Amino acid sequence: MHENYDLELLMELVRQKKFRQLKEALGQMNEVDIAEFLDELDVEQEILVFRLLPKDLAAEVFTYLENTEDQEKLIGALSDKELREVLDELFLDDTVDIIEDMPANVVSRILRNTDTSTRSQINQLLNYPKDSAGSIMTTEFVYLHPDATVEQSFARIRRVGLDKETVYTCYVTQNRVLLGVVTVKTMLLSAYETRIGDIMETNVLSVTTHEDKEDVAQMFSKYGLTALPVVDGEDRLVGIITVDDAMDVIEEETTEDFEKMAAILPSDKPYLRTGVFETWKSRIPWLMLLMLSATFTGIIITSFESALNACVILTSFIPMLSGTGGNSGSQSSVAVIRALSLDEVEFSDVLAVLWKEIRVAVLCGVCLGGANFIKMMVVDRWLMHNPEVTPLVALVVCLTLMLTVVCAKIVGCTLPMAAEKVGIDPAVMAAPFITTIVDALSLLIYFAIATHVLGI
């Protein structure tokens, strides 16, 4: 996607210090785009431009800045009064997000500049575990009384709504216990004198503060929600989660899944903002582990050295066998991992999954084996005149291929499900891990068949 604004022009305005024109241009822009533009500037310019923004816009822009070090320097450059103005405009959950990324001295300065009630709410939100629903919720929601009329409720929304993240879904509570929800749409379509308790939806989806935030985000896409209430152990409403935060969680978790599947330790910074050393740290552990575990394949080959010596052509098919085995296994594992994360499959389906994968594997194995037999006979033997490629050698290779594909698919589908069962993230069981196992398996099968069929 391309920028919705002219970056070059804005940069030019900054360079020429044409601040009046710049201010005008910024007024026409979306807050996310302004943040993107600020991220391109160096800190001194950033502070200058940030001061040009009207208060309410400044706060929104601030939450979208990518670079936490810049955020920190920006806070450092603001006077207490300016900081208070920005904080006043922020939604509570955004303030908490910022605080989580800041060093202690900045945090205490932020807390000093918020009022007592906000401060206690912030402290409460900071206490929820990192991956819990509590950590992504906000305590700023509209609650209504079941005995209030629609007219009274609209008056209440007008009075308290400005600071709330959403006013469209209101929560009906009595003694803080969640009784139901009512949307502004329902209220708009009802008569003014209707009692809220009579039009509220009592069949409410809710989560508890300690639920995993990934499961919560999945509920948004499963049920098509825009907001979800969060309750404590006694069914008392303590906060709400809005769809934009759920989308952020889904995006983060998807990136994490991609990383895990590529044997990268998850990082939470954008690609180009992660330092070389940091990137190295996230990549080397799995590379090292997988490299050292390849010791087994080495041992297998060494112990069949005499067989390989007797029939050297066998060596040339090792990369093809392990490659095809790895690809077959990773197809199954990725398909199962994705199905698990979308809740299409759970552990109790393990036999159905296994049965399906075995049938697919046999089909794939027969096709690949057949194609490879023809290729070895036509290309290797006939076109390239390689006398070592006898029909018997081709048979050994193709039998190995079929068995490897079947084993690879069985390993590929069972490992992620077993991981899910014992509470490990199935994404870790993707391609690199499977490939290493399948490499060893395919060699064992290869040499077993070769020694039998070729009598070496």
DSSP 3-state of 103: coil
CB of 77 to its own copies, least distance (A): 26
**In the complex with its own copies, which residue's Cβ is closer, 83 or 411?**
411
State in angstroms the smallest separation of the CB of 342 from its own copies. 7
Compute the least distance from the CB of residue 203 to its own copies, in Å.
6
Among 100, 123, 309, 347, binds its own copies (CB under 8 A): 309
Q: Which of 124, 152, 194, 255 binds its own copies (CB under 8 A)?
A: 255
Query: What residue has token string 């934009």?
Result: 244
Phi-psi category of residue 418: left, alpha or beta, with phi > 0 → left and psi -120 to 50 → alpha: alpha
**What 3-state DSSP class applies to 51?**
helix
Segment 348 to 407, residues that bind its own copies, using CB under 8 A: 349, 352-353, 356, 359-360, 363-364, 367-368, 371-372, 375, 379-380, 384, 386, 401, 405
Buried b (16+ CB within 10 A) or exposed e, 225-261: bebbbbbeeeeebbbbbbbebbeebbeebebbbebbb
Strand (E) or helix (H) holding 237: strand 237-242
| In 175-222, beta strands by DSSP E | 177-183, 207-208
CB nearer its own copies, residue 101 or residue 244: 244
In the region spanning residues 169 to 208, those forming contacts with its own copies, defined by CB under 8 A, are: 184-185, 188-189, 203, 205
- Judged by CB under 8 A, the chain residues 202 through 231 that form the site for its own copies are 203, 205, 215, 218-224, 226
**Nearest distance in Å: CB 38, its own copies:** 15
Interaction with its own copies in 411-450: which residues (CB under 8 A)? 431-432, 435-436, 439, 443
Least distance in angstroms from the C-beta of 32 to its own copies = 5
Report if residue 158 touches its own copies, rule: CB under 8 A. yes
Cβ 345 to its own copies shortest distance, Å: 6
| 240, 137 contact by CB (below 8 A) | yes
Subset of residues 15 to 74 that bind its own copies, contact rule: CB under 8 A: 28-30, 32
For tokens 């009207």, name the residue: 54
Name residues contacting its own copies, limited to 89-118 (CB under 8 A): none
- 173-208 as b/e: b if 16+ CB within 10 A: beeeebbbbbbbebbeebeeebbbbebbeeebebbe
176-181: long-range contacts (C-beta < 8 A, 24 or more apart)? 176/236, 176/237, 177/234, 177/235, 177/236, 177/237, 178/204, 178/206, 178/229, 178/231, 178/235, 178/236, 178/237, 179/146, 180/146, 180/204, 181/229
We find the least distance from the C-beta atom of residue 253 to its own copies, in angstroms, to be: 10
Interface with its own copies includes 127 (CB under 8 A)? no
Binding residues among 271-300 for its own copies as defined by CB under 8 A? 271-272, 276-277, 279-280, 283-284, 286-288, 290-292, 294-295, 297-299
Q: Are strands 177-183 and 169-174 parallel, antiparallel or unpaired?
A: antiparallel
Q: Which of 74, 98, 157, 196 binds its own copies (CB under 8 A)?
A: 157
Tokens for 25? 């241009």
Q: Binder to its own copies among 90, 137, 200, 339 (CB under 8 A)?
A: 339
Contacts of 228 (CB under 8 A, 6+ apart): 205, 206, 207, 216, 219, 220, 240, 241, 246
Q: How far apart are the first and last CA of the chain?
A: 60
Q: Of the candidates 134, 229, 239, 326, which one interacts with its own copies according to CB under 8 A? A: 326
Nearest distance, CB of residue 146 and its own copies, angstroms: 19
Which is nearer to its own copies, 115 or 344 (by Cβ)?
A: 344
- The closest of 282, 334, 326 to 441, measured between CA atoms, is 326
> Which residues lie across from 208 on neighbouring strands?
231
64 in Cβ contact with 33 (< 8 Å): no
Q: Which is nearer to its own copies, 126 or 284 (CB)?
A: 284
Instruction: Name the residue nearer to its own copies (CB basis): 327 or 451.
Output: 327
Strand bridging mode 143-144 / 227-231: unpaired
**CA–CA separation, 356 vs 332, rounded Å?**
10
Using CB under 8 A as the binding criterion, the count of chain residues that bind its own copies stands at: 120
- Indicate whether 154 belongs to the interface with its own copies (CB under 8 A): yes
| Shortest Cβ 123–its own copies spacing (Å) | 26
CB atoms within 10 A of CB 402: 20
CB nearer its own copies, residue 83 or residue 443: 443
Minimum Å distance from CB 192 to its own copies?
11
